[in-house]
Amino acid sequence: MNKPLILASKSPVRAKILRDAGLSFEVKASAMDEQPIKDHCLAQDQPDLLAIAPALAREKALAISHDWPGSYVIGADQTLIHDQTLLSKAADESSLRQQLLSLRGQTHHLHSAVALTFDGAILWQWD
């Protein structure tokens, strides 16, 4: 018997990737507050901006995994870093425009991470 697969994300792009790979899955987005994880990573003596995406992917997958025993859960996240600063999602179109203009011609880094869990245990993680 196959075990259910759950995508712990509302991202239509992530869902499309799984569908295009021929996988059958359900979407159960985590309602967890991301800010405490970001704050923890940023509060270190030497803030680790690259630790945020893996921590968020892992915690999203674990949050759903605890609620759906017997299921594989995929959690994923991305962070955008520019000039050693973590950029957040723009609140509105005007903020988005300003953010895009500030990135124009600048080097920035998109850091992605994925975690796979089963019954509250991390089976695999990539970042």
pLDDT tens, residue order, the chain (127 aa): 589 999 999 999 999 999 999 999 999 998 899 999 999 988 888 888 999 999 999 999 999 999 999 999 999 999 999 988 888 888 899 999 999 998 999 999 999 999 999 999 999 999 9
Q: For the chain, what are the domain ranges?
A: 5-79+110-126
CA angle 87, 88, 89 (to 5 degrees): 130
How many C-beta neighbours within 10 Å does residue 18 have? 16
The DSSP bridge partners found for residue 51 are none
Q: Which of 48, 77, 92, 119 is catalytic?
A: 77
Supply the DSSP string of 50-97, one letter for each residue.
Answer: GGHHHHHHHHHHHHHHHHSTT-EEEEEEEEEEETTEEEPPPSSHHHHH
Nearest partner of 74 among 61, 90, 62, 91, judged by Cα: 61
Out of 2.40.40.20, 3.40.1190.20, 3.90.950.10, 2.60.120.1140, which CATH number does the structure's domain 5-79+110-126 have?
Answer: 3.90.950.10
Q: Tell me, what DSSP letter sits at residue 78?
A: E
What would the two tokens of residue 48 be? 């680790």
Q: What pLDDT is attached to residue 45?
A: 81
Q: What pLDDT is attached to residue 12?
A: 95
Element (H, E) at 50: none
Q: What pLDDT is attached to residue 90?
A: 86
CB 109 within 8 A of CB 81: yes
CA atoms within 13 A on the CB side of 93: 0
Active site residue 127: no
Q: What pLDDT is attached to residue 44?
A: 80
